[in-house]
A and B are shown apart, each in its own frame.
Chain A
Amino acid sequence: MLLDIHSLSKIYGQSCGHCLDETGERQGRSICPQCGSVVAVNRACLQIEGDEILGIVGESGSGKSTLLQLLYRDVEASSGEVFFHVIKDKKNRPVNILDLDMLQTARMRNEMMSMIYQNPRLGLNYLFSAGGNIAEKIIGAGEHRFEKIRNRVHHFVDKIELPGTRVDDYPDTFSGGQQQRIQIAKALSSSPNLLLLDEPTTGLDVSVQARILDLIKSLQKEMGFAMIVVSHDLGVIRHLTDITVVMRHGSIVEYGLTDQILEDPQHGYTQLLVSSIL
Chain B
Amino acid sequence: MTEIRFAILDEDAKKEIRRALLKAVSLPGYIVPFASREMPVARGWGTGGMQITLSIIVEEDVLKVIDQGCDGSVNAVNIRDFIVAATGVETSAHTDEASLIQTRHRIPERPLTEEQILVFQVPYPEVLTTVEPDTGRQKQIHAHREYSRLWVLLYEDTAQFGESRISNRYPVEVNGHFVMDPSPIPRYDIPRLDNNPALLLFGAGREKRIYAIPPYTRVKPLVFEDRPFLVESFPGQCCERCGANNVFLDEVHGEDGVHYFCSDTDYCDNHQKRTDHAA
Contact = CB atoms under 8 A, between A and B. Distances in A.
Direct A–B touching, Cβ under 8 Å: yes
Contact of A102 (B131, B140, B158): B140
Contact of B148 (A131, A136, A147, A150): A136
19 contacts: A102-B143, A106-B146, A128-B156, A129-B159, A131-B156, A131-B159, A132-B152, A132-B155, A135-B152, A139-B151, A140-B146, A140-B148, A144-B225, A145-B225, A146-B224, A146-B226, A146-B227, A148-B226, A167-B159
Contact of A128 (B144, B152, B158, B224): B152
Given A128-B149, A132-B152, 17 more contacts: A102-B140, A102-B144, A132-B153, A132-B155, A132-B156, A135-B152, A135-B155, A136-B148, A139-B148, A140-B146, A144-B151, A144-B224, A144-B225, A146-B158, A149-B224, A150-B155, A150-B159
A168 interface: yes
B2 interface: no
A103 interface: yes
A147 B155 CA distance: 10
A135 B158 CA distance: 12
A168 B153 CA distance: 12
Interface in A142-159: 144-150
A82 B96 CA distance: 62
Contacts of B143: 102-103
Nearest to B160: A168
Contacts, number: 61
A106 B158 contact: no
A147 B225 CA distance: 10
A109 to B, nearest CB: 11
Interface string B122-153: 00000000010000000010011110110111
Q: How large is the interface on A (under 10, 10 to 19, 20 to 34, 35 or more residues)?
A: 20 to 34
A159 B159 CA distance: 19
Contacts of B160: 168
Contact of B152 (A106, A110, A139, A148): A139
Contacts of A149: 155, 224
A264 B156 CA distance: 52
Contacts of B158: 146
A110 B131 CA distance: 18
Contacts of B140: 102
Given A128-B152, A135-B152, A145-B225, A168 B159 contact: yes
Q: 4 shortest A-B CB distances, which residue pairs?
A: A146-B224, A103-B144, A139-B151, A140-B148
B159 to A, nearest CB: 6
B273 to A, nearest CB: 45
Contacts of B226: 145-148
B138 to A, nearest CB: 14
B224 A145 contact: yes
Contacts of B148: 110, 136, 139-140
